[in-house]
Amino acid sequence: MYIKGVGMTNFSIEEHSSNHLIHETTMETLDDSGMTMNDVDAVVISNNDILSNGERQRHSSSMISSLFQKKMPIVAVPAGCAGGGTALWTASKLHKTGKYNNILVIGFEKMVSNISKRVTDEMLMGAERVYEQAEGMNFPAANALVAQQYMLKYGATSDDLALVAYKNHKNAFSNPKARFYKKKVSLEDIKKSPIVASPLRLYDCSIPANGASSLIISKDKTDIEIIGSTEETDYLAPFERENMTSWDASKKAAEEAYKEAGISPEDVDVAEIHDAFTSVELISYEDLGFCKKGEGKELIRKGITNIDGKMPVNASGGLKAKGHPISATGVSQIYELTKQMRNQAGERQVSDIKYALAQNIGGAGSTVTVHILKKVNN
């Protein structure tokens, strides 16, 4: 299973219709693939059922059919923030049936088309409703509790979280598709930003955006092969789990992906990680096997995950600074890794890549997908 082509809109606050976003990213993907919609055999699409974007349209599969005037299998896969990765995982399963040669995968979302309160309430529908939401528990608060436990247990500090944010903002500065493109954010800015939910400050939280991303997987050999594609699910609320500072779904998805790909964590040359909050990036270093439990802080302190480090993470700027249009995020991670592996990443180019990893998380570790890509010598 190979990546034929990729596309992505700017992640921004610009107001466009969903159809506009989908059309823009798909046209870029088709152009990158040297294909037309007539070459596409099936589509897997992901977006959340959000009324807040003002479009009041939940039948996205038929919306795609109308947009491109094409009748074919179109599957909608909403999975919260893990929607994009889950769409690709679903497409990989369809591909293995042998019935579909070229499958288009699309993730899209409009996050800044309404007031924050309405968007926040819609997003909370991806979290536990009876106990947490009833008591005012939103995603920053839930992740703050996780961060507190992690810091107490392993000695990480707010300065470590700030280094994650600073790294990702530096990377996004050179990413033309990122919401923080050419916008400088200093370490002092990060450390002095207001507390959202202690210990998380404003710059510890990912930034919403409008945007879309897409790709085409194919049986036809290209320069990039998907050699691992896994999805795992855990209990909805963090309080239901034995350990809040390590997410079983992430660990298991990674273990299965490495096994499927026939590689180890040490083989990964570059990764795009779901840094919805800076603390999640530190925890993910460990859950993905890049270091031992509790040692994630050492990777960021020593610059190992910097763009010029031994194992660069989030060269795109991550959700933190590239932007996080929910269902588009997981697909945009593959976009970034494909550009990196094709030496098309410009100023943020990572050298000598053979293996790349993408991790996409829904909820507070509730659903996780991991994809591993391999550079193929043609």
pLDDT in tens, 181-203: 999 999 999 999 999 999 999 99
How many whole angstroms separate alpha carbon 371 and alpha carbon 368? Answer: 10
Residue of 16, 81, 291, 371 marked active site: 81
Q: Which residues pair with 2 in a beta bridge?
A: 218, 225
Share of the chain above pLDDT 90, in %: 81
Give the pLDDT of residue 125: 63
Give the pLDDT of residue 43: 97
Query: Structure tokens of 226?
Result: 């998907």
Is the pLDDT score of 80 beyond 90? Answer: no
Concerning whether 324 is annotated as a catalytic residue, the answer is yes
How many whole angstroms separate alpha carbon 315 and alpha carbon 301? Answer: 17
Mean pLDDT to the nearest integer, 340-358: 97
Mean pLDDT to the nearest integer, 141-148: 92
Is the pLDDT score of 124 beyond 90? Answer: no
Torsion angle, CA of 144/368/175/211, rounded to 10 degrees?
-90
Mean pLDDT to the nearest integer, 110-124: 69
Which of the two residues, 135 and 274, has the higher pLDDT score? 274
Mean pLDDT to the nearest integer, 335-356: 97
Give the pLDDT of residue 130: 77
Out of 60-69, 256-265, 353-362, which region has the weakest mean confidence (pLDDT)? Answer: 60-69
Is the pLDDT score of 53 beyond 80? Answer: no
Q: What is the mean pLDDT of the chain?
A: 93
Query: Structure tokens of 140?
Result: 């920053």
Give the pLDDT of residue 132: 76
Give the pLDDT of residue 378: 61
Share of the chain above pLDDT 70, in %: 94
Give the pLDDT of residue 50: 59
Q: Residue 276 in contact with residue 146, Cβ under 8 Å?
A: no
Per-residue pLDDT tens over the stretch 271-298: 999 999 999 999 999 999 999 999 999 9
Concerning whether 81 is annotated as a catalytic residue, the answer is yes
DSSP tag of 117: H
- Beta strand pairing call for 224-233 and 367-375: antiparallel
Nearest in space to 183 (alpha carbons), one of 171, 198, 195: 171
Is the pLDDT score of 222 beyond 90? Answer: yes
Name the pLDDT band for 118 (thresholds 50, 70, 90): low
Give the pLDDT of residue 272: 98
Q: How far is CA 181 from CA 59, 184, 305, in A?
A: 33, 8, 20
- Beta strand pairing call for 102-110 and 224-233: unpaired
Out of 45-54, 242-251, 301-310, 332-341, which region has the weakest mean confidence (pLDDT)? Answer: 45-54
Residue of 16, 169, 324, 371 marked active site: 324
Give the pLDDT of residue 183: 97
How many whole angstroms separate alpha carbon 246 and alpha carbon 233? Answer: 14
Query: Hey, which bits of the chain come out as E strands?
Result: 2-8, 42-46, 74-76, 102-110, 195-197, 200-201, 210-218, 224-233, 270-272, 355-362, 367-375
Domain boundary assignment for the chain: 2-116+209-218
Out of 86-90, 140-144, 165-169, which region has the weakest mean confidence (pLDDT)? Answer: 140-144
How many whole angstroms separate alpha carbon 273 and alpha carbon 14? Answer: 25
CATH superfamily assigned to domain 2-116+209-218? Thiolase/Chalcone synthase (3.40.47.10)
Measured from the Cβ of residue 125, the count of other Cβ atoms closer than 10 Å reads: 12
Query: 3-state class of 225 per DSSP?
Result: strand
Cβ contacts of 348 within 8 Å, gap of 6 or more: 171, 174, 175, 307, 315, 316
Give the pLDDT of residue 238: 80
- Beta strand pairing call for 200-201 and 210-218: unpaired
Give the pLDDT of residue 361: 96
Out of 180-189, 237-246, 338-347, 368-377, which region has the weakest mean confidence (pLDDT)? Answer: 237-246
